[in-house]
């Protein structure tokens, strides 16, 4: 990852995903979509416009409530989130703090050529609202029955007072959100089902170690304006145990705010109701951060990124033992081109197998394939496994069968 706008001195806490970063990030999003949309019968997807009618934010309560308490130091004029301060004095200069003001976190812009009040719009602070606003359209086109959910991945923006800790808190980030609609009496069952699904996502798919994850039942006084119950899944980052994901019981708060009539009719009883909602809400960037931290390991002078093979930017890398031998290089390239048809692959032509292995270990490539003189005689290659550094000799035609992405 690179600091955003780096050659211009950067822009506070903006980060760019580089060539390998974008692959890992895309793989995280694809794994989430697969697990929670493609592999389930009770889920459908959505990709809605990011800028919405401002009435959405009025009715959702974000214009009124989506704010943090902001305090300013009388002396140095630095600004802080009051709820994150340990002391009543400025942490930068010890000066006195002015009384807190509520600071709305939504980023504003203007739509169209006239920059007046009527043209004000907001960059969405969560992807969730579009799911509520499109609820009836999705219902009519998908013909789903309760319980069912709608999933969306996309950017969200918040004018955070104190961004920081690398990509932990930024002003522009990505979310993967599910709104799961249930009959009101079924919310607890659904909440428990999604709690289990979150654990399965974090441990089976992302490969995070159980001992690094904690559940935090949010106290009633600290709940978001729409929530009756929230569990935060916290991760043990090097800078402390903090939120990774949130999961909320949003009741029928949002649908009631957007629809004057109940938007769902029970097919059997013909009763019209406002479904209740369970919302597992995940940050893509925080997932990326937790995956990197959890996968990082050292073995002597070897750095190994023990990524789940499904998440690794490259699944396999190919090299040969001599960089100037035309036959060897040609064979290695041929194998690489063939593997690339099925797996994201890398080719290393430096002719230094030790460095080849070390560099692929460091970026988490689960398999390395090496071509040597024996290959030219019997069509076998060495396949090496990242985590154990163990090697075996296999026929080229069997290579693909030896690559497991589980």
CB of 332 to ligand GAP, least distance (A): 41
Say whether residue 254 binds ligand GAP (CB under 6 A). Answer: no
Interface with ligand GAP (CB under 6 A), residue from 132, 173, 187, 201: 173
Q: Which of 25, 124, 144, 158 binds ligand GAP (CB under 6 A)?
A: 158
Instruction: Give strand pairing partners of 281.
Output: 177, 246
Q: What tokens appear for 144 in the block?
A: 């789903």
Both tokens of residue 301? 């002078």
Is 35:142 a contact under the CB 8 Å cutoff?
no
286 in contact with ligand GAP (CB under 6 A): yes
Of residues 175 and 319, the one with the C-beta less far from ligand GAP: 175
Nearest distance from C-beta of residue 31 to ligand GAP, angstroms: 16
Q: Does 82 bind ligand GAP (CB under 6 A)?
A: no
Q: Which is nearer to ligand GAP, 225 or 393 (CB)?
A: 225
| Residue 283 sits in the site that holds ligand GAP (CB under 6 A) | yes
Closest distance of CB 75 from ligand GAP, Å: 28
Q: In whole angstroms, what is the distance from residue 394 CA to residue 380 CA?
A: 5
Query: Among the candidate windows 41-49, 282-290, 297-305, 344-352, which touches ligand GAP by CB under 6 A?
Result: 282-290
Closest to ligand GAP by CB, 126 vs 348, is 126
Among 243, 323, 351, 362, binds ligand GAP (CB under 6 A): 243
Residue 217's alpha-carbon distances to 61, 246, 262, in angstroms, are: 23, 10, 30
C-alpha 370/C-alpha 393 separation (Å) is 10
DSSP-derived 3-state class of residue 268 = coil
- The smaller minimum CB distance to ligand GAP, of residues 68 and 346, is found at 68
Within residues 88-147, the interface with ligand GAP by CB under 6 A covers 126, 128
Contact call for residue 177 and ligand GAP (CB under 6 A): yes
Cis ω on the peptide bond leading into residue 3 (within 30° of 0)? no
Interface residue with ligand GAP, options 25, 62, 144, 169 (CB under 6 A): 169
CB–CB of 367/382 below 8 Å? no
Least CB distance from residue 110 to ligand GAP, whole Å?
23
CB atoms under 10 Å from CB of 335, counted, come to 21
Closest CB to ligand GAP belongs to which residue? 283
Question: Both ends of the chain: CA-CA distance in Å?
Answer: 26
146 and 183 Cβ atoms separated by less than 8 Å: yes
Decide whether 82 or 243 has the Cβ nearer to ligand GAP.
243
Number of shown-chain residues binding ligand GAP (CB under 6 A) = 18
285 touches ligand GAP by CB under 6 A? yes
3-state secondary structure of 27: helix
Q: Which is nearer to ligand GAP, 74 or 225 (CB)?
A: 225
Facing residues of 144 across strands?
none
Give the integer Cα–Cα distance in Å for 35 and 85. Answer: 39
Q: Which stretch binds ligand GAP (CB under 6 A): 37-45, 165-173, 184-192, 351-359?
A: 165-173
The tokens for 396 are: 């080229």
We find the least distance from the C-beta atom of residue 294 to ligand GAP, in angstroms, to be 15
Q: What is the DSSP letter of 238?
A: T
- Structure-block tokens of residue 128: 């969730």
72 binds ligand GAP (CB under 6 A): no
Smallest distance, ligand GAP to C-beta of residue 244, A: 6
By CB under 6 A, the residues from 259 to 278 that bind ligand GAP are none
Least Å from the CB of residue 318 to ligand GAP: 36
Long-range contacts at 89-93 (CB < 8 A, ≥ 24 apart): none
Minimum distance of ligand GAP from residue 127's CB (angstroms): 7
Instruction: Output 233 or 314, the one with its CB closest to ligand GAP.
Output: 233
Host H or E run for residue 99:
none
Residue 118 burial (10 A CB sphere; 0-12, 13-18, 19+): exposed
**Residue with the two structure tokens 């990197």:** 292
- Between helix 284-295 and helix 19-33 the angle, nearest 10°, is 110
Q: For residue 377, how far is the Cα from the chain centroid?
A: 47
Q: Does the footprint of ligand GAP cover residue 175 (CB under 6 A)?
A: yes
Binding site for ligand GAP (CB under 6 A): 126, 128, 158, 160, 169-170, 173, 175, 177, 243, 245-246, 279, 281-283, 285-286
């Amino acid at each position: 990852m690179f600091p955003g706008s780096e050659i211009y001195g950067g822009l506070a806490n903006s980060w760019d995903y580089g060539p390998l970063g974008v692959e890992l990030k895309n793989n995280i999003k694809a794994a989430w979509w697969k697990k929670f949309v493609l592999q389930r019968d009770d889920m459908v997807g959505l990709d809605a416009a990011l800028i919405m009618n401002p009435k959405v934010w009025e009715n959702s309560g974000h214009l009124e409530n989506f704010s943090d308490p902001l305090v300013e130091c009388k002396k140095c004029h630095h600004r802080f989130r009051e709820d994150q301060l340990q002391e009543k004095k400025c942490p930068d200069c010890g000066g006195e703090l002015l009384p807190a003001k509520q600071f709305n976190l939504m980023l504003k812009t203007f739509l169209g050529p006239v920059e007046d009040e009527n043209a004000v719009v907001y960059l969405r602070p969560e992807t969730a609202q579009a799911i509520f606003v499109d609820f009836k359209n999705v219902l009519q086109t998908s013909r789903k029955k309760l319980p069912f959910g709608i999933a969306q991945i996309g950017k969200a923006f918040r004018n955070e007072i104190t961004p920081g800790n690398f990509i932990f808190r930024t002003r522009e980030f990505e979310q993967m959100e599910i709104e799961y609609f249930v009959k009101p009496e079924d919310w607890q069952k659904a909440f428990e089902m999604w709690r289990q699904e979150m654990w399965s996502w974090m441990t089976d798919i992302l490969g995070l170690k159980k001992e690094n994850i904690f559940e935090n039942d949010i106290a009633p006084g600290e709940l978001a304006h729409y929530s009756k119950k929230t569990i935060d899944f916290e991760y043990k980052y090097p800078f402390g145990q903090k939120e990774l994901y949130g999961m909320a019981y949003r009741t029928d708060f949002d649908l009631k705010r957007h629809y004057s009539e109940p938007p769902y009719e029970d097919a059997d009883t013909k009763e019209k109701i406002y479904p209740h909602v369970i919302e597992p809400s995940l940050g893509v960037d925080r997932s990326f951060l937790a995956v990197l931290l959890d996968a990082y390991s050292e073995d002597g002078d070897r750095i190994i990124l023990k990524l789940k093979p499904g998440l690794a930017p490259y699944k396999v890398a190919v090299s040969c033992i001599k960089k100037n031998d035309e036959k060897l290089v040609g064979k290695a390239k041929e194998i690489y081109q063939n593997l690339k048809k099925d797996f994201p692959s890398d080719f290393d032509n430096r002719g230094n197998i030790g460095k080849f292995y070390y560099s692929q270990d460091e970026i988490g490539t689960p398999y390395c394939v090496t071509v040597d003189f024996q290959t030219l005689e019997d069509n076998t290659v060495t396949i090496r496994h990242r985590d154990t550094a163990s090697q075996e000799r296999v026929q080229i035609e069997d290579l693909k069968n030896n690559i497991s992405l589980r």
